[in-house]
């Protein structure tokens, strides 16, 4: 009985979408690439790619996309952080697809694909098989296995050497980090967080094919791709325009404002400490605790996740994980004698960070300049303080 209900549910689902596994396309069917512009939320900052199958004879107009996930997945946040979250292929009517982006105020463009009847059938069969419950899930990767990379990968798998990517339209080369920054405001928490979490491995130049981890580059590539010697796409239609809205940036909530404010506060307290031969234990505890927690998170992303993008992250030099434990020693009036040597080590690590930055081994967020000055200033003051026998503790 339960099995019959499942079959009934699946049949209703397929019929509502206008296709079934056994369905064949009519001669009037068209398949196209849909590209969606960027949105306001972080998960939508990089756009979206999908495939539209439209058959007016069969009454079908469905969009297949590889960017769906469920927040109800068991241990969702842990799997997402560890890089073990599975994404699925989705299928929905074009009308609901468009409605979603009307709400989000994102543009949608369509590029019709010049496919023969046989080539359409192969692609549609692949999508139907891929949409079966047993085949839907795939292991998501931010830069190498997402909604955009799936599109060219599928076409290459289906059509093999008959499909040729031409990269003559590309005029510049970019690193992965530069490509990510094209979609983000430099003075934003999202960009700051990405620069903090992703390591030096993304500071290499992306190969032409690798550019297509971003939907916009898939959009640029398909008109410069041939199938059996013919252009894969020759048309470009705007299905949904983006409505102009006023910029709503609030400098007071930006990382630049807060990091600069923290630097100013630490400068003020440090100056007063120097003037009165005192040390503010609470400030030292907070600085060491926060930098240590940040370092611990960086190490976790580096060594204990499946994300290749978070490897070799030298932010872990200035955000030094052992600071988390040293913070508790700095709460005491009398600190161990080794603290001074430890502080010299921290200053050395900040210097190494700057050297790696200068030689472009890793490109850091420009905003960490405020952090490096804040930490370096306080470390130098503490060395001076612990060498002075006149200091008192507050």
pLDDT value, residue 75: 62
Which helix (H) or strand (E) segment holds residue 160: the answer is none
Strands 392-393 and 278-279, by their bridges, are parallel
d(CA 172, CA 194): 23
pLDDT score for 74: 63
Residues with Cβ within 8 Å of 58's Cβ and at least 6 positions away in sequence, in order, are 18, 19, 23, 25, 26, 29
DSSP letter string, 351-376: HHHHHHHHTTSSPPPTTHHHHHHHHH
**pLDDT tens-digit map of 112-160:** 999 999 999 999 999 999 999 999 999 889 899 999 999 999 999 999 9
* Burial class (CB within 10 angstroms; exposed 0-12, middle 13-18, buried 19+) of 256: middle
State residue 71's pLDDT score: 55
In 3D space, the residue among 175, 90, 132, 86 whose CA is nearest the CA of residue 360 turns out to be 175
- Candidate from 78-82, 179-183, 213-217, 338-342 with smallest mean pLDDT: 78-82
Residue ranges of the alpha helices (H) in 85-148? 94-104, 117-131
pLDDT at 11: 41
Which two structure tokens, joined as six digits, stand for 253? 């909530």
Q: Is 234 helix (H, G, I), strand (E, B) or coil?
A: coil
Tell me if residue 80 falls in helix, strand or coil. Answer: helix
- 234 touches 33 (CB < 8 A): no
pLDDT band per the 50, 70, 90 thresholds, residue 364: very high
pLDDT, the chain, mean: 90
The whole-angstrom separation of Cα 129 and Cα 132 is: 5
* Helix, strand, coil percentages, rounded to 5, for the chain: 50, 15, 35
Alpha helices by DSSP H, listed for the chain, are 2-17, 76-82, 94-104, 117-131, 150-159, 176-181, 189-197, 215-221, 255-276, 281-303, 315-318, 323-329, 339-358, 368-387
- Name the pLDDT band for 394 (thresholds 50, 70, 90): low
Among residues 381, 374, 361, which one has the least CA distance to residue 281? 381
51 neighbors 127 (Cβ within 8 angstroms): yes
Position 26 pLDDT exceeds 50: yes
Q: According to the model, what pLDDT value does residue 38 have?
A: 92
For 33, the token pair is 């690439």
Residue 40: predicted pLDDT: 85
pLDDT of 112? 97
Q: Which of these, 202, 206, 214, 185, lies nearest to 315 by C-alpha position?
A: 202
pLDDT at 276 over 60: yes
- Res 284: pLDDT: 98
Contact 80, 197 (CB under 8 A): no
pLDDT at residue number 351:
98
Tokens of 175: 């690193």
Distance CA 186, CA 247 (A): 15
Instruction: Judge whether 360 and 203 are in contact, CB under 8 Å.
Output: yes
Dig out the tokens for 34 from the structure: 């849909």
Q: What's the burial of 95, exposed, middle or buried (CB within 10 Å: 0-12/13-18/19+)?
A: exposed
Q: Which DSSP category does 69 fall into?
A: -
Using pLDDT thresholds of 50, 70 and 90, give the confidence band for residue 175: very high
Average pLDDT over residues 202-231: 97
> Which residues neighbour 119 within 8 Å (Cβ) at sequence distance 6 or greater?
159, 227
- Rounded Cα distance, 214 and 67, in Å: 13
41-62: pLDDT as tens digits: 877 899 999 999 999 999 999 9
* Interatomic CA distance for residues 198 and 56, integer angstroms: 46
**pLDDT, tens digit (0-9, with 9 covering 90-100), for 282-329:** 999 999 999 999 999 999 999 999 899 999 999 999 999 999 999 999
Q: Which residue has the higher pLDDT, 298 or 39?
A: 298
CA distance 60 to 367: 50
Mean pLDDT of 60-67: 95
For residue 67, pLDDT beyond 90: no
């Amino acid at each position: 009985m339960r099995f019959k209900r499942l079959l009934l549910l699946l049949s209703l689902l397929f019929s509502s979408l206008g296709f079934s596994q056994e369905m064949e396309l009519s001669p009037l069917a068209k398949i196209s690439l849909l590209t969606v512009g960027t949105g306001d939320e972080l998960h939508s900052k990089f756009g979206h790619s999908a495939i539209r199958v439209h058959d007016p004879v069969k009454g079908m107009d469905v969009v297949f996309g590889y960017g769906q996930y469920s927040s109800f997945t068991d241990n969702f946040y842990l799997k997402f952080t560890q890089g073990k979250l599975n994404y699925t292929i989705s299928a929905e009517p074009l009308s609901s697809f468009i409605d979603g982006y009307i709400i989000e105020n994102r543009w949608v463009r369509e590029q019709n694909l010049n496919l023969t009847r046989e080539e359409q059938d192969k692609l549609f069969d692949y999508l139907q098989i891929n949409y079966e419950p047993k085949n839907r899930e795939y292991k998501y990767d931010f830069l190498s296995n997402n909604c955009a990379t799936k599109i060219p990968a599928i076409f290459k798998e289906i059509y093999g050497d008959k499909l040729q990517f031409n990269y003559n339209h590309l005029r510049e080369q970019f690193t992965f980090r530069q490509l990510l920054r094209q979609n983000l405001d430099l003075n934003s928490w999202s960009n700051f967080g990405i620069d903090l979490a992703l390591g030096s491995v993304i500071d290499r130049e992306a190969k032409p094919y690798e550019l297509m981890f971003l939907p916009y580059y898939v959009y640029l590539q398909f008109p410069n791709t041939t199938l059996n010697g013919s252009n894969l796409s020759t048309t470009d239609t705007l299905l949904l325009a983006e409505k102009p809205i006023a910029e709503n940036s609030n400098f007071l909530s930006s990382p630049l404002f807060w990091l600069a404010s923290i630097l100013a506060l630490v400068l003020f307290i440090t100056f007063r400490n120097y003037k009165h031969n005192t040390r503010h234990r609470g400030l030292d505890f907070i600085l060491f605790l926060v930098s240590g927690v940040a370092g611990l998170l960086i190490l976790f992303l580096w060594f204990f996740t499946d994300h290749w993008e978070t490897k070799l992250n030298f932010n872990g030099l200035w955000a030094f994980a052992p600071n988390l434990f040293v913070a508790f020693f700095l709460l005491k009036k009398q600190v161990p004698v080794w603290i001074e040597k430890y502080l010299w080590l921290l200053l050395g690590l900040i210097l190494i960070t700057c050297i790696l930055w200068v030689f472009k081994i890793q490109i850091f967020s420009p905003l960490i300049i405020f952090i490096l000055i804040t930490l370096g200033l306080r470390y130098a003051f503490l060395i001076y303080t612990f060498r002075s026998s006149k200091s008192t503790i507050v």
